[in-house]
């Protein structure tokens, strides 16, 4: 199977499962990722999604270069099913647990997630320029927002990798942990998010997207509207009641 997909309570995990090929993505894997993300959004029990790679060496090496010649024309390539788009469009909060090399589309996959944590042996690179092209899954936009224009230019124009500690210093990832602690930390973080009000969590995700694409005044007004929508939910009523009663809230996505 090109991916492994499991749901444990409120947390779904999508594992890219071609470790012998550094989890490089094929059209079949892209299709499977799209289907898994759609199931996560359909399933109201799922409140957070973890993306990771199988094996100790790679999160994802991007598209399988050997499969790129299977596209009949550049236009077919342009209109391919894209795994990064599917992850970026997830309605549910997402966490990339980067367990090794994240290269090209693998870096874009991590950048498409809301939160990124990495193992200490992780490497990040945008190596497409070494093969004669550039990334096409939001690479430049995501990197510029994450690490700034100069650092993004360095990665995009050299194609050379950075290690996990530099990625942490640049803000590309939020945490670096030892490899054997990565998935436990990812699940702990996912469970924390899953325990929060799900409508509010999904709205916060939408609000962050707006913050990057709207002028400041419009983004602030939009945030106020989103806050009002959340405030009107039964979950918000439950949150206020739980606060008054000094107990943990029970959120029901209502």
- Domain spans of the chain, in order of start: 3-194, 198-245
pLDDT, tens digit only, all 254 positions of the chain: 799 999 999 999 999 999 999 999 888 899 999 999 999 999 999 999 999 999 989 999 988 777 776 766 877 777 677 889 999 999 999 999 999 999 999 999 999 999 999 999 999 999 999 999 898 889 999 999 999 999 999 999 999 999 999 999 999 999 999 999 999 999 999 999 999 999 999 999 999 999 988 999 999 999 999 999 999 999 999 999 999 999 999 999 99
**3-194: which CATH topology?**
2-enoyl-CoA Hydratase; Chain A, domain 1 (3.90.226)
Q: How many CB atoms lie within 10 A of CB 209?
A: 12
Q: Alpha helices of 15-104 — where are they, by DSSP H?
A: 27-42, 65-68, 74-78, 83-88
Provide the pLDDT for residue 71. 66
Alpha carbon dihedral 32, 35, 40, 42, in 10-degree steps, equals -170
Provide the pLDDT for residue 233. 96
Q: How many Å apart are CA 81 and CA 103, to the nearest integer?
A: 19
Q: Which sequence positions are flagged as catalytic?
A: 108, 128
List for the chain the helix, strand, coil content (%; round to 5). Answer: 50, 15, 30
**198-245: which CATH topology?**
Lyase 2-enoyl-coa Hydratase; Chain  A, domain 2 (1.10.12)
Q: Are strands 48-53 and 11-16 parallel, antiparallel or unpaired?
A: parallel
Q: Are strands 115-119 and 48-53 parallel, antiparallel or unpaired?
A: unpaired
């Amino acid at each position: 199977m090109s991916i492994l997909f499991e749901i444990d309570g409120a947390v779904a995990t999508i594992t890219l499962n071609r470790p012998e090929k550094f989890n490089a993505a094929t059209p079949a894997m892209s299709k499977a990722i799209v289907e898994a993300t759609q199931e996560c959004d359909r399933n109201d029990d799922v409140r957070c999604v973890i993306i990771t790679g199988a094996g100790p060496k790679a999160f994802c090496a991007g598209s399988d270069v050997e499969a790129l010649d299977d596209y009949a024309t550049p236009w077919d390539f342009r209109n391919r099913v894209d795994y990064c788009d599917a992850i970026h469009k997830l309605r549910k909060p997402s966490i990339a647990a980067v367990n090794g090399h994240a290269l090209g589309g693998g870096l874009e996959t991590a950048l498409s997630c809301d939160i990124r944590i990495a193992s200490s042996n992780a490497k990040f690179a945008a190596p497409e320029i070494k093969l004669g092209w550039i990334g096409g899954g939001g690479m430049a936009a995501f990197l510029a927002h994450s690490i700034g224009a100069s650092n993004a230019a360095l990665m995009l124009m050299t194609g050379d990798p950075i290690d996990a500690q530099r990625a942490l210093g640049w803000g590309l990832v939020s945490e670096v942990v030892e490899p054997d602690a990565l998935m436990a930390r990812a699940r702990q973080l996912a469970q924390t998010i899953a325990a929060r009000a799900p409508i509010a969590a999904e709205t916060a995700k939408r609000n962050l997207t707006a913050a990057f694409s709207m002028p400041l005044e419009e983004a602030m007004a939009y945030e106020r509207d989103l806050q009002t929508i959340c405030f009107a939910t039964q979950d918000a009523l439950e949150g206020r009641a739980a606060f008054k009663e000094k107990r943990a809230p029970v959120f029901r996505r209502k």
